[in-house]
Every structure is written in structure tokens, then in C-alpha cells.
Chain A
Amino acid sequence: MASFHGNKINPDRLSFGQWKFFTFLITLSVFMILPIIFIFSQALKPVDELFLYPPKLFVHHPTWGNFAQLFSVSNVAAVPKTKYLFNSILVTAAVVFLSIVLCSMTGFALSKKEFKMKKVVFEINIIALMFVPAAVTIPRYLVVQKLYLMDSYWGHILPMLSLPVGVFLVKQFVDQIPNALIEAAKLDGANDYYVFRKLVIPMIMPALATVSILAFQLAWNNSETSTLFMSKETLKTFAFYMSTLTTTTAMENNIAGQGMAAAAALLMFIPNLLIFIFMQSKVMDTMAHSGLK
């Protein structure tokens, strides 16, 4: 029994016996974040360091020059970079908000309401967890075209809104709310909307935080809808602009462009990181109920 208490799961404090785990974990973590540190370093390098031979991993004299260049140099279409950023922010905000609304409504009904199609809808959603959107790019293109969503913000937003994982996680989380609580509110004369708004929503905040992170990553990192559905340059997103900076030819012929591309990559990454750091404890809370049976 002594050895068992010596290294148990989820220990309260550091102890010498944990050194093996730390050795592996720190080695692997370094490997995982090295490419990310590289983006930071590359984004802050002045031009002469980007040209340096032999190449150096870390920046010596960091500068904001690449960022200044990113926002001042105009591209072929002469669209200001802030317009791409604005589009990304608008689309992402809409996707996050609508995903929260959709997932919470559906999750609530699938968990706490009784209706005829309940089992069927839940099963369909489970099957949809295994769905690969990339496989139906062509029919989706046709659907977006038929709905006249080409060259509109809805063409960005709508394709991002089916989030079966989000519905599933919210449903699992609502399952944790005791039925008695809802019955009690009903006896006091509350209708479904009131129960949903005032009782359920405040209790499932961790799950909604998780949905918002997933939706954020999906929308913010997405360049496909710009490529496929937008022909007007002014409607395209920052992720799309990012992808034009990193085509092989653009990168290899233009070393100065590498610093600019790294600056843009950093702008893509930072919001993802910040949001996750702020919400990580809520995400772990939600994931505890993520099991599939």
C-alpha cells in the first residue's frame, strides 16, 4: 500500500517520486511548443535577421517592423488589412453567439423535454459526430449557391453553424441538472422558456464556454468559406488573407514576406490562446461529462 500512496492519481502536492512524469512531460511539451515559439521569434525578427545565414532560431533584436509592414503594404486587390480583420471578427462573433443559442436550446430539449422524435434526433446527432464536412464541400457549395448566400456574410456564418459536438456536450451537461429542480420551478408556474432562461442557462455556463471556444476556433481559423463562396475581395477573412501569404512561391521568393506572414500567423494564434487560457477550467469541467456510451 505504501507504493500506492507514494504516487497516486491527481496528487495534492509536488513530490520527488513524480520526477519521471515531469521528465517525459517537459520534454514533450518543449517539442509541442517549439513551433509556436518559432512563430513569435520569426514575427519579431528584423529583416536582416530573417536573411541571416546560417539561420538562427531565436530573435536577437526584436522589432514590431513586421506588424507595421503587414498593415501598411497593400496587396494586389488594395483591400486594407483591417477590413479582413473586421470581417473575421464580425463572422466569428456571429458564429459564436448563434452556436451558443442553437446548442443550448437543442441540448436542453434533448435532455429535459419529452417528445416523440427525441431518441431519433439524439441518435442522428451521435451519427453526425462522425461526419466529415470536408467530404461534402461540393454539395455544400451548391446549397450555398441555391440559397443566394454567395458573397454575403451569411455565406461565412451558416456553414459553420452545425456543431454536433457542441450539442452533444451541452446535452450531457444539462443531464447533470436534477429533474426535481425543474419540476419545482414548473409547480411555481414557470413555463419552458423561463426554466430554460433563468434556471438551465446559468447552470450550464461551463458547457457554453466550451461551445464558444469550439465555435471560435472553427470560425476564426476558417479560410475555406472565403475561397469557395466569396468572390468579392472585401468580404474575405483574415484567415484567407493569411493563406495567400504562405503559398510556397510567395514564401520562397520573398524572405521579407516571411516576417510579415509570421506576424499575421501570430495575430491568428493569440486570440485562440487567450480565450482558451481564460476558459480552460470550464472546459475541463465540461469534458468530464463528454463520455459516449
Chain B
Amino acid sequence: MKPATVKAIKNELSAYGFISPFLLIFTVLVVVPVVTAIYLSFTDFNSIQTPKFIGLTNYVNLITQDNAFMMYVLPNTLKFALLVGPGGYLLSFWLAWLLAQIPRRSRTVLALAIYSPSLTAAVAMAVVWLVIFSGNASGYLNHFLMSLAIINEPIQWTQSPHYLMPIMVTVSLWNSMGVGFLAMLAGILNINGEMYEAGYIDGIRTRLQEVWYITIPSMKPQMLFGAVMAVVGTFQAGAIGVQLSGANPTPQNAGQLMVNHIEDYGFLRYDMGYASAVSVVLLIIVYGFSKLCWRLFGESD
């Protein structure tokens, strides 16, 4: 063999040396589970006996038989995602933009305050929410509203089908300033100042025009990264309803999201084939929403 070929092969091998540990773990944790989920979704599997192939039955049941899914879980998931996803995203961008308008020191302090909810663990924050939204008269929210005479009777916030969803949305918005928020803040700060000067010479008059014509187009890649993180974060944040109400399914399915539905069928009823079908549908939905973000913010070339 020519020395050049030997060198090329060596180079190739060395590259795989660097990349194979990641590929191995990625295969075991992501590829194999996704393939397994797709396979199990076509079977009847109770986690003890071997899976029995039943074709599309699970999907057919999901669409035609599962009242809870069609009436509550799917609408809840979409409602939750559409409120928390774009809501949290716009809030992140707005806060990042506001932060970029003030000097460095004060920015660092305030950015930390805004990011700090993302540092908390959901399991730990349950302490706060359960006490604030406690259903008896000594709950903080009940006491506050009763002292202002807005309500007369304490409200069972987390047990009420009426209030559970709004509380879930509020709590999720509260900790939605995560990695995407930091990326957007960095993106805004890194825009070249001359871009703005040029924009003002070209006739930009208001701050809104400035944001629309200069800031957003100059940080499209960060906007896209933030959007993808928002989509994934939103569909991931499923545990919150079960945590608040202390029950799966949540009271009258009011806060039931797809992630809870998967857990309910998979680990409480041991109908893992059916739960896998729900998983596959969830993965497709998340992928679809992410692709939509790509359409909106991706570079066209």
C-alpha cells in the first residue's frame, strides 16, 4: 500500500477512536430504545410474557377506544405545549432583550435571578407549590385571597380539575428560562454594534423596528436553538401535574399529559405495548414541532 493510503486509514481509525464511546452509549440509550419502542408498539406486552405481535391494534385502540386519551390527554398535551412552549419562548426572548439593555454588573445579578428557577429540581420545588397551593385555609394562596375577600371558602387548588392546568402552566412558565434563555441572551449581546448604527442610518426609527429588522435576523441560529430547547422542554415537563395533585391519573384527567399516560399504562397497568404506541406518537409530535421551528428560523440556504 502507498504511504498516503496508510495515513488516510490511520486517520480514519483515530477518528473512530474518539467517536466510538459516544456512538456506543448513544446507540444503547437512544437508538435501541427508540427501535424497541416502535417494535413494542405493534405488540401486546405485559413485561413478563414474551411480546405477542398484534399489528396496528394498539394504534387503532389509541384512536378509537381510549376515551381518556382523545378527550383529555391529547388536548391537554397540546394545550399545555402551546401555552408553555411559545409563551416561555417569548418570555425568554423578551427578558434576554431587556437584560441586554443594562450594564454588565446589574445584568449578571438579574440574569441569575431569572435563571435560578431552572436550577431547581422539580422534586424539591414540590415543597413550595404544595404549601402555597394547599387546599385548606392555611394555604398561602387561599389565605391571601381570603384576606382580600376575593374568595370566601378555601379552594382545593391542586385537586380541582378547574385549576390544576392553569397552575401547571404557571409553574412551568416560571422555570422555562433555561439553556435557551442563556443562548438567546448571549446571541443578543454578540450582535455587532455597527449593525445597529447601519440600521439607524437606513431609517430605523423605533426600538420595535430595531428588534424586528436587526436583532432577530442577526441571531436566527440562537433563536432556533432556543426554540428547539423550548419544544423539548415543554414535552419533557410532564411530571408536574402528577406531582402537584399526588395522583396518576390526575383528578378527572385534568392535568394528564402524554408522559403521564405512558407511565400510567407502562408502569401502573403493565400494558407496555400500548404505552409504547403512545411513546411513538409523542416522539413523532415532538419531532414535528421541532421541524416547524426549523422552518421558521432555519437558514434557507
- Interface residues in chain A, defined as those with a beta carbon under 8 Å from any beta carbon in chain B: 1, 4, 7-14, 18, 21-22, 24-26, 28-30, 32-33, 35-36, 38-39, 42, 53-55, 57, 101-103, 105-106, 108-110, 113-116, 118, 121, 124, 127-140, 142-143, 147, 158-159, 161-162, 164-165, 167, 191-192, 196, 214, 217, 220-221, 223, 228, 239-240, 242-243, 245-249, 251-252, 258, 261-262, 264-265, 268-269, 272-273, 276-277, 280, 283-285, 287-288, 290-293
Since A55-B143, A130-B231, A268-B121 are in contact, a sample of 10 more A-B pairs with Cβ atoms closer than 8 Å, ordered by chain A residue number, is A24-B98, A54-B138, A54-B143, A57-B140, A103-B22, A130-B287, A135-B259, A138-B276, A143-B32, A252-B136
Bound CA–CA A239/B101 (angstroms): 38
Bound CA–CA A277/B235 (angstroms): 28
Neighbouring B residues of A35 by C-beta, 8 Å: 117, 125, 128-129, 132, 174
Of B53-61, B66-74, B161-169, B221-229, the one contacting chain A is B221-229
Neighbouring B residues of A290 by C-beta, 8 Å: 179, 183, 186-187, 221-222, 225
Are the CB atoms of A131 and B232 closer together than 8 Å?
A: yes
Are the CB atoms of A291 and B102 closer together than 8 Å?
A: no
Question: If the complex has contacts A139-B33, A287-B186, are A33 and B113 also in contact, measured as CB distance less than 8 A?
Answer: yes
Neighbouring A residues of B266 by C-beta, 8 Å: 137-138
Measured between C-beta atoms, what is the minimum distance from B87 to chain A in Å?
14
22 A-B contacts (beta carbon < 8 Å): A11-B101, A29-B114, A32-B174, A116-B12, A128-B26, A130-B231, A132-B236, A138-B266, A139-B37, A140-B29, A143-B33, A162-B26, A214-B179, A221-B122, A242-B124, A243-B123, A252-B135, A261-B127, A268-B123, A288-B189, A290-B179, A293-B298
Are the CB atoms of A248 and B245 closer together than 8 Å?
A: yes
Chain A CB within 8 A of B14 CB: yes
Are the CB atoms of A134 and B238 closer together than 8 Å?
A: yes
Bound CA–CA A10/B97 (angstroms): 10
Neighbouring B residues of A133 by C-beta, 8 Å: 236
